[in-house]
Amino acid sequence: MKKFIIRRLLSFIPVLLGVVTISFMLIRLLPGDPAALMLAKSGASAEQVAALRAELGLDQPLLTQYLQYLGDVVRGDLGVSIWERRPVLTMIAEQLPSTLELAVAALLISIVVGTTLGILSAVYRDSWIDRLSVIVAVLGVSMPMFWSGLLLVLLFGATLRWLPVIGQGSIKHLILPAATMGFACVGTITRTVRSSMVEILQAEYITTARAKGLSSTLVLFRHGMPNALIPVITLVGLQFGWLLGGSVVIETVFSRKGLGDLLVQAILWKDLPVVQGGVLVTAVMYLVINLVIDLLYGILDPRIHYN
């Protein structure tokens, strides 16, 4: 187990080196000169733009810039935002908790609703509840979040006045954005739980349990559910990454702070250090979450061993 973890952690190094290199190159491949962008509002002359470019160190050869950046990253220094002139790490640390809060809340909602619907539609196959879950799944997956988010704003905010529509800081502020995001994930989880549950309910150990005379509730919860939930863990790992990426839409609609908007704005306005730092931090999170999920398999599924 320990060896497995160490091996996995070591494998992070080449992955992260790749991430750093690719993000460094990609953002520079996009058209647009950061110095000119920064001076766009003052209609600066070509000469003034060149002076700022030199001040930012962007007139240096690419390789020099890359090696400099690599050296800084190894020392844990992600640089300074060229727009805000604040340390990138501070800016990310400021925004990350809000995005994590939203992602976790959305995941919780989607897991609770998704597994409940999934199990019900497996148990009562082809009933109205099964059909309802298909509708929910299709709507959730196909409705764009900015649209479903706006519908919720109009219904619960503008019309019913139950919930605040912008900002954050309380559970009340979290409900609408988390529900919007959670709803988008419910479909996948419902369908996955349903199909694995259908399979499990036909497994021999379920028949055995029933033959022993156990109540159907007990069979379902003690023998069926734990096994049906294993694929959900895999999904959670995948969706967490999706939620981090999708958070930008929700953050914009609900005026929430967060990493998504920080990164999108940084890409749009070519704030190179913020893009690089943000991509790196997101990659680290993704790697760690996938490691945790792999470890969870070992704990939850006795058939899996890491030796």
Partner 1 sequence: MARRSGIRNVSALLLCALLAACAAPTPQVVTVQETVVVTTEKVVEVEKVVQQTVEVPLAPAAAPKGGRLVMGTDKFPSGLDPHVNSSWDVMRILVSVYDPLLWQDPETGEILPGLAESWEISNDGLHYTLRLRKDVSFHDGTPFNAEAAKFSLDRILAPETQSQYAKAFLGPTDSIDAVDEYTLRINLKTPSAYLLSGLSQTYVAMVSPAAVEKWGSEYQLHQVGTGPFIMKEYVPKDHVTLTRNEKYSWAPSIFEHQGPAYLEEIEWHFLPEEATRLPALETGDVQLVISLPPIDATRLTTLADFSLLTSRLRVTQPLEFFINTQKPPTDDIRVRQALNYATDQQSILNSVLRGLYLPAHGPLAGTTFEYSDQVEGMYPYDVEKAKALLDDAGWKAGSDGMRFKDGQPLKLLMSSQTWNFIPPIAQTLQGQLRQVGIDVEVEQMTFPAQMTAGAEGTKNVLVNGGNGFTAADALDGYFGSWSADGGFAWSKMKDPDLDKLLVEGAQTLDPEKRKAIYAEAQVRIMEQALIIPIYDYTILVGVNNKVMGLSWDISNVAPLAYDAYIAAD
Nearer Cβ to partner 1 (219/271): 271
Enclosing H/E stretch for 219: none
- Residue 257 CB, shortest distance to partner 1, in Å, is 4
Minimum Å gap between C-beta 138 and partner 1 is 24
Choice between 158 and 299, CB closer to partner 1: 158
Nearest distance, CB of residue 26 and partner 1, angstroms: 14
In the complex, minimum distance from the CB of residue 279 to partner 1, in angstroms, rounded to a whole number: 18
37/214 with CB nearer partner 1: 37
Instruction: Kindly list the distances between the CA atom of residue 28 and the CA atoms of 34, 81, 94, 180, in Å, as whole numbers in the listed order.
Output: 10, 15, 26, 34
Q: Find the shortest distance in angstroms from Cβ 68 to partner 1.
A: 18
Site for partner 1, rule CB under 8 A: 30-33, 36-47, 49-52, 55-56, 80-87, 90-91, 94-95, 98, 146, 150, 153-154, 157-158, 161, 164-168, 251-258, 261-262, 265, 268-271
Tell me the residue type at 214.
L
For residue 58, what is the DSSP state? T
Q: Rounded to the nearest whole angstrom, what is the least distance from the CB of residue 164 to partner 1 in the complex?
A: 5
CB of 132 vs partner 1, minimal distance in Å: 29
Residue 56 DSSP one-character state: T
C-alpha gyration radius of the chain: 24
Nearer to partner 1, 38 or 122 (CB): 38
- Per residue in 71-101, is it b (16+ CB within 10 Å) or e — as a string? eebeeeebbbbbbeeebbbebbeebbebbbb
- Which are the contacts of 139, defined by CB distance < 8 A and separation ≥ 6? 183, 187
End-to-end CA distance of the chain: 6
Distances (CA, A) of 150 to 72, 113, 138, 183: 42, 21, 19, 14
Residue 243 or residue 253: which is nearer to partner 1 going by CB?
A: 253
Looking at beta carbons only, is 41 or 303 nearer to partner 1?
A: 41
Determine the Cα–Cα distance for residues 277 and 130; give it in Å rounded to an integer. 45
Q: Residue 33 or 130: which CB sits closer to partner 1?
A: 33
Q: Residues near 96 by Cβ (< 8 Å), separated by ≥ 6?
A: 259, 281
215 Cβ contact list (under 8 Å, min separation 6): none
